[in-house]
Chain A
Amino acid sequence: MGQFGLGQAITRKEDARLITGRGRFTDDGPPPGCAHAVFLRSPHAHARIRSLDCTRALSMPGVLAILTGAELDAAGIGPLPCTTLYENRDGTPMAAPERPVLARERVRFVGDPVAAVIAETPHAARDAAETILVDYDPLAAIVDTGRALDPEAPQIWPEAPGNLALDWETGDAEAVDRRFAAAHRVLELTLVNNRIVVNPMETRACLAEYDPGTDRLTLTVGSQGVHGMQRILAEKVLRIPREKLRVVTRDVGGAFGMKIFVFPEYPVCLHAARILRRPVRWVAERTESFLADTHGRDHVTTVSIAVDADGRMTAIRASAIANLGAYLSQVGPFIPTECGAYMYTGVYRFEAAHYRVRCVFTNTAPVDAYRGAGRPEAAYAVERAVDFAARELGCDPIAFRRRNFVPPAAMPYRTALGYTYDSGDFPRLLDAALARADVAGFAGRRQAAAAAGRLLGLGVAYYIERCAGGSPEEARLELRPDGRLRLYIGTQNNGQGHETAYAQIVADRLGLPFADIEVVQGDTDLVASGRGTGGSRSIPIGGAAVLRAGERLVARARERAAEMLEAATTDIGFAEGSFFILGTDRRLSLVEVAAAAGGLEESDSFQPEAPTFPNGCHVCELSIDRATGVPRIERYTVVDDFGVVVNPALLAGQVHGGLAQGIGQALLERTVYDPESGQLLSGSLMDYVLPRADDLPAFDFDWVVIPCRTNPLGVKGAGEAGAIGAPPAVINAVVDALAGYGIHHVDMPATPHRLWRLLERVGALLA
C-alpha cells in the first residue's frame, strides 16, 4: 500500500481550490448579458387563484418576460413528475395529482411558485414581481401530519379523499398478529420524527443558457448527478430530446439528498433562456430555500413489539403517517415506503414484521430525501421502541439488545422483511463502543452530575441501514501518453471528497501518482452515463466501477506490455505501476505502455447484486440541567462497521457531519408551520436552529472492518450513517436521564423548553 493508497488519511485534492476561494459553485461567474429570474410565491398555505394580472409588471423597467402556468402550458412544459408511484395495499393505484411547474388555479403551500419575472437585474425583477396582482381566495389549510387524515381536515386534492396519497404495507400481517396474540408482553410507543429543513450552506441556484445555432440548452445547477436531472428535465418536463439539454454541475455547497431533484425553477429558467435567447440565472434567497426546498422526515409512527416470556422479541409492527407535503416530489413516496420500510427489523431476530404507512398530503413544502431518507425514520422507530420495551420490561436496554441481536454466526441472515444482511458482528461492535464510552464508569459520573444539579443519561442505539444497492455506475479511465489519467464518472461530489477517494483507488491499483489523476464529474457532455450520488452509493458502487475499469485498463496494457517485452501475457506481472516479466528484472511502466500505445482508455461498470448494510453502535451520554432544562452532550462514541475503509479522514468527515445533523434533529431543529395560517414560522436561520460550533461535542469515532461480501472493494456505504444512528441514541439518553421520574418518551427535538416543561410536570425541577 503506497502513500496514497487505500486506507490512507491523505488530505483532499478538492481543498486546493476550496480553501483558497477558487471553488466554482453554480452562481460563481454568471456570463455577460445574463438576465435574472425572480419567483413570485404564494403567501397563502392554501388558496384559489381567482385571477393573475401581470400587465403592470410587464411594463416595468428592465423586465424581459414574465412566465406563468398559462405560458408554460402553452409551451407544453410540465408537469414535474413523481418517478416513484406505488399501489395502495388494496391494489388500487395511489393518488398522483399532477404537480404543475407553476401553480395554476390553486396554491397549496406558502412558497408555491406562481410566476417568474425575468429582468435585466435582480432588483428590477423583484420590483416587477411586487406589482403582479394575484387575487387569492384563501382556503382552510392543514399542516399537521397527525391530523391530516382527520375527517374534518381541509381537503387538498380531489384525487386524494381524506388527504390520503398512499396506503402501503409490507411484511406478513398475519404472522405478526399470531405472535402478538401469543406474546407474553406487548409494548407500544408512538413517536414523532420531526420535519427538517435541509439547509445546505449553498442555496439552490441555476444558470440556463441557450444556443440557437444548435438549438441546445445548457443548465448549470447544483445537483447530485447530472444525468438524472437531464433525463427528467428533457424527457418529462421540457419534452425535448435528451441530447438537446446539457446539464453541468460544478462545486456543490452541500446537498444532503435535496439537490437530487428537479425543482420548478429549473425548467422555468431554461424556457426563459430559450425564448429570450439570453442566459438566465436564478439564486434562491435563504428564505426561499426554507420555503421551497424539499424538506425531510415528518412522520408520526406507532411501533409495537411482541416479547415472549424469555425476553425475546418475536414480532414488530409499525404504522406510520408520513407527510408528503402539498405535492408529490420526485421520489417523495419512495422515502417512507421502499427506501426505509424493510429496515423495521433493525439488528434483531424478529420472526415476523409488518410495516404500514399512510402517506398524506398537507399544505406544506413537499417532502423528499434528506440524508438517510426513510432509514433514519426506521432506525429511530426501532431503536426507540426496543429501548422503551426493555425499560418497560425492567431489563437493561443494553442486555436486552444483546439478547435479541442477530448473531454473527447467522450471517448471511435473511430478515423477516426480506433483506439479506451479508455480514455484521453486532455484539463485537457493541462491546467496542461500550468500552470506548467507559460505560463502566457511567454510574459514578451520574452521581457526580446529580450533585451538580444535572441529570445524566446514557443512551445506546444500534442502527443498521441499507445502502448502495440497485442501479449500476460506470467509470471510464483515460490514461494519456503523458501519464496523466482522467477518470470520468457519473456520481457527483457534494463535499464528500470523491476526487480524493476515487484518485486513491486508482493510485492504489494502477500505481500512478496521486497528483496525476483527475476526476471528471458533473457534465453530461463529458460523462456518458451516471446514476448520481445518493443513498451512500458513490464509493461502494462508483468505487467498484473505478476498480473494475482499472483492472480492465491493466489487462489491456498487459497485452501491450507483453508485445513490447516480447513475452507471453501470462508471464507478465504487474506491481506498483509497472509490468515485468515474471522472474526477471525486465520491466515497463504503465505510463510507458500508455505512451507507446498513444494513450489507453477503458471503461467498466458495476451493478451490485445486493445492497450493503453498514451498521454501528452509538453511545450518547447527555446531561440535563435540572434548573433550566438545557441538555448537554457530555460524550459521544460511535463504533461503525463500514467494511473496508478507503480514506479514514474522509470517512470520519462523513460520520461527523451525519452526527451533527442527527444531533441537530434530536435536540435543535424544529420546523414549525402555524397550524391556523400554514405560515412557516421557522423560516430563517434566526428562527430555525442549525447547530453551531458550541452545540456539538467532540466525537469519539472508531470502526471495525467486517468486509462487505457483495462488493468487490468490500466497502459499505457511509454517507448517511451518522444521521441515522444519532437521533435514537440522543433521545434514548434523554429518556434515561429522566427515567427516574417515570418519563418514558420525549419527542424530538428535545429542546430546553420541552425538557423544562417535563421536569416541571414531574416535579423534578430544581428551584
Chain B
Amino acid sequence: MRRRLRFVLGSEPRELGEVEPTLTVLEYLRRIEHRRGTKEGCAEGDCGACTVLVGRPVEGRMCYRAVNACILFLPMLDGCRLLTVEDLRAPDGSLHPVQRAMVEAHASQCGFCTPGFVMALYALYRERGVARETPIAEWLAGNLCRCTGYGPILEAAQRMHAVAQGADHLEAREAETVARLESWQDGETLAVGREGRMFFAPADIGSLARLLIEHPDATLIGGATDVGLWVTKQHRRPHPLIWTGRVAELTRVEDTGDGLSIGAAATYRDVLDRLAALYPDAGRVIRRIGSVQIRNLGTIGGNIANGSPIGDSPPLLIAAGARLRLRRGNRCREVPLESFFLDYGRQDRRPGEFVEAVVVSGPGPGTLFRAYKISKRFDQDISSVFAAFRIDLDGGRIASARLAYGGMAPVPKRAELAEAALVGRPWKRQTVEAAMAALERDFTPIDDWRASAGYRMTVARNLLMKCWLESSGEIRRRLDLAAEVADG
C-alpha cells in the first residue's frame, strides 16, 4: 500500500497523505491551491467552466485529456499531471498561442467561462491530428458561454494553430515530466483518506479483486461522472471508494480476432474509434454521449455496472451481442450482457464481484446494425429512448435479431417478442410492422419528465421502422437529429 497521493500540478510535484476521498479537483484547486482561474459554473459537467487537462505518460510522451474538474475526485490524479489555465503562460509571462488567439479574436467578454474555453482549446491544440477531424463545435459542446455567441471563440480555435510557432513551453520541457511520472509508476495500491474515509486505487487486477472482497460495500468508480454528481448535487460522501483507473488490465481495449475485449476502465474516448470501426453507428452515438470532457472520463464499464435504465452503452452492446466478464477473487464468469440487469437498481453482481471486461464480436457478412439515441438535444443529454438493433440477414430472411432498448423498462432490455416476430421471416415492411406491434407487449414504459409513456412507445416502434426504411433504401438520408420532446 502506498499512503501518499502523487501528482504534478503544473510543474510542481505534489504528495498528499491525508485526502478526503470525494474532494473534487475543482475544490482542491480553488480552496487549497488558490488556483482560482478554474471556475464552477454548474458542478455537474454541463458548462465546462472548470475544464482542466489531465496528462499521463503514454509510450514516452505525455497524453493530455480535457476533463471537468468539478466532478473529478482528487485522488484520481494519481500519477498524472494536472494543467490549469494558470500554467499556459510562458515563464516570461507571454501569452500562449491559444490565449493570444482568444485575445485577437475578442473571444472573451465577462471572462468567467474563458479559462474553461482556453483549456478546451488547449487540449485541441495538443491534439493537432484530432483537430483536423473533429468539427470545432463538437469539440466545444461541453463548454457554455452566455456572452459571445461563440463566433469569436470558433475563430480563435481556427487561428491558434496559425499563431503557434513550434512546441510551446510546456511541450519543450515535457521529458522531465514524463521521467518523473514514469518513475512514480509502481505496482502499489494507493490508499489515502481522511478520518477513516478511504480511497483505494489498486494498480493491478489481483489487488482490485482482493480489495473488493475486503470491502464488498465499497463504491467502485471508473470515471466518476455519475458518482461525482452524487457528491456535488446530492451532497453524499460515499466511502470507501475504489477506483479502477489505475488497473492496467482494465484500461485496455484488446483485439480478440473477431471483435474487442473492452476493459471495464476504458473510457468512451479510448473505445470510440475502435468500436466505430466495428460498428459505425456505435461511433455515431458515442460521440453524442456527454461532451469531450465527459467522454474523456466516463467508462463503458461504469456505464454498464451502475445499472441505469437510461445508460446508452448497455443497449448498444446488448444488441451487438456483447458478453460481460465478471470477476470475484480469482474466479471469472461470463454472462450475456442483457442478463446482468435484473431489475431497477439491481444487477447480477455478487458481493466482492466486479465487471472486468465487456467482450463484443464484430458484424457478420449479413449484419445490419443500427443505433439511435433520442434526446432533447444533440450533445450533453440523457436519452429519452435509446435503441440498437442487430439484424443478421441470410438472403432476404432474418436469421437472427437482437433489438435492445434503453428508457423503455426498469433495465436495458431486449424486445424478445418483437425479435421473435422477425426471426425466420423476410426483411419486409409487413414483418417489421408485425414486430412493431409485438413491441407493445414487450414494454410498458413509464411517464417521467424526460418523456411520456406514449411518446416512448411511439418512438420505440418507429425506430424499428426507421431502421427498415434506411436499410431498404426507402429513405436514403439518415435522420441524425435529436427529437425535441419537452412537450411530449
A184 → B minimal CB distance (Å): 39
Q: Is A670 in contact with B481, judged by CB distance below 8 angstroms?
A: no
- Whole-angstrom CA separation of A255 from B111 in the bound complex: 12
Stretch at the interface among B113-121, B184-192, B364-372, B430-438: B113-121
Stretch at the interface among B99-107, B160-168, B405-413: B99-107
Residues of A within 8 A of B37 (CB): 20-23
- Whole-angstrom CA separation of A686 from B37 in the bound complex: 24
Q: Is B147 in contact with A698, judged by CB distance below 8 angstroms?
A: no
Interface: B88 (CB within 8 A): yes
Stretch at the interface among B169-177, B193-201, B251-259, B374-382: B374-382
From A199, A652, A689, A756, B146 is in contact (CB under 8 Å) with A199
- Whole-angstrom CA separation of A687 from B451 in the bound complex: 12
B443 → A minimal CB distance (Å): 22
Given the contacts A497-B109, A656-B152, A685 and B103 also touching, CB distance less than 8 Å? no
Q: Is B149 in contact with A685, judged by CB distance below 8 angstroms?
A: no
Given the contacts A19-B118, A29-B36, A657 and B109 also touching, CB distance less than 8 Å? yes
Given the contacts A202-B39, A656-B148, A253 and B486 also touching, CB distance less than 8 Å? no
Stretch at the interface among A237-245, A295-303, A480-488, A625-633: A625-633
Interface: A684 (CB within 8 A): yes
Q: Is B43 in contact with A659, judged by CB distance below 8 angstroms?
A: no
Stretch at the interface among A7-15, A355-363, A503-511: A7-15
Q: Is B150 in contact with A660, judged by CB distance below 8 angstroms?
A: yes
Residues of B within 8 A of A203 (CB): 41
Interface: A46 (CB within 8 A): no
Stretch at the interface among B136-144, B242-250, B307-315: B136-144
Interface: B89 (CB within 8 A): yes
Total count of chain A residues near the partner, CB < 8 A: 75
From A660, A694, A752, A756, B149 is in contact (CB under 8 Å) with A660
Residues of B214-259 whose CB lies within 8 A of A: 233, 235, 237
| CB nearest neighbor in B for A659 | B149
Q: Is B47 in contact with A699, judged by CB distance below 8 angstroms?
A: no
Interface bin, chain B: 35 or more
Residues of B within 8 A of A409 (CB): none
Q: Is B95 in contact with A254, judged by CB distance below 8 angstroms?
A: no
Among B146, B151, B380, the most chain A Cβ lie within 10 Å of the Cβ of B146
Residues of B within 8 A of A656 (CB): 148-149, 151-152
Among A200, A657, A682, the most chain B Cβ lie within 10 Å of the Cβ of A657
Given the contacts A15-B108, A21-B86, A690 and B144 also touching, CB distance less than 8 Å? yes
Q: Is B110 in contact with A251, judged by CB distance below 8 angstroms?
A: yes
Interface: B338 (CB within 8 A): no
Residues of B20-37 whose CB lies within 8 A of A: 30, 34-37
Q: Is A19 in contact with B99, judged by CB distance below 8 angstroms?
A: yes
Q: Is A18 in contact with B381, judged by CB distance below 8 angstroms?
A: no
| CB nearest neighbor in B for A30 | B31
Residues of B313-345 whose CB lies within 8 A of A: none
Residues of A102-138 whose CB lies within 8 A of B: 123, 126-127
Residues of B45-85 whose CB lies within 8 A of A: 46-47, 49, 84-85
Residues of A within 8 A of B378 (CB): 694
Q: Is A753 in contact with B485, judged by CB distance below 8 angstroms?
A: yes
Interface: A57 (CB within 8 A): no
Q: Is B103 in contact with A254, judged by CB distance below 8 angstroms?
A: no
A480 → B minimal CB distance (Å): 25
Given the contacts A653-B106, A694-B378, A201 and B49 also touching, CB distance less than 8 Å? yes
Residues of B within 8 A of A751 (CB): 484, 486-487
Residues of B within 8 A of A253 (CB): 39, 110-113
B142 → A minimal CB distance (Å): 9
Given the contacts A20-B37, A684-B46, A751-B484, A200 and B110 also touching, CB distance less than 8 Å? yes
Q: Is A25 in contact with B112, judged by CB distance below 8 angstroms?
A: yes
B247 → A minimal CB distance (Å): 30
Given the contacts A286-B41, A685-B144, A652 and B106 also touching, CB distance less than 8 Å? yes
Q: Is A18 in contact with B114, judged by CB distance below 8 angstroms?
A: yes
Q: Is B151 in contact with A201, judged by CB distance below 8 angstroms?
A: no
Interface: A546 (CB within 8 A): no
Residues of B394-445 whose CB lies within 8 A of A: none
Q: Is B481 in contact with A696, judged by CB distance below 8 angstroms?
A: no
- Whole-angstrom CA separation of A690 from B49 in the bound complex: 14
Residues of A within 8 A of B356 (CB): none
Q: Is A19 in contact with B113, judged by CB distance below 8 angstroms?
A: no
B220 → A minimal CB distance (Å): 24
Q: Is A653 in contact with B109, judged by CB distance below 8 angstroms?
A: yes
| CB nearest neighbor in A for B84 | A21
Residues of B within 8 A of A497 (CB): 109
- Whole-angstrom CA separation of A313 from B153 in the bound complex: 43
Q: Is A201 in contact with B108, judged by CB distance below 8 angstroms?
A: no
Q: Is A202 in contact with B110, judged by CB distance below 8 angstroms?
A: yes
15 A–B contacts, CB within 8 A, in A order: A18-B108, A19-B99, A21-B84, A24-B36, A201-B145, A254-B146, A495-B109, A653-B147, A672-B486, A685-B46, A693-B140, A694-B137, A696-B149, A753-B486, A753-B487
Task: Pick the 3 closest A-B CB pairs, nearest first.
Answer: A21-B37, A253-B112, A495-B110
Given A286-B43, A685-B144, list of 18 further CB < 8 A pairs?
Answer: A19-B102, A21-B85, A28-B36, A200-B110, A201-B113, A201-B144, A202-B41, A203-B41, A629-B484, A630-B481, A659-B149, A670-B486, A684-B42, A693-B153, A693-B154, A694-B135, A756-B483, A756-B484
Interface positions of B (Cβ within 8 A of A)? 30, 34-44, 46-47, 49, 84-86, 88-89, 95, 99, 102-104, 106, 108-115, 118, 135-138, 140-141, 143-154, 233, 235, 237, 376-382, 449, 477, 479, 481-488
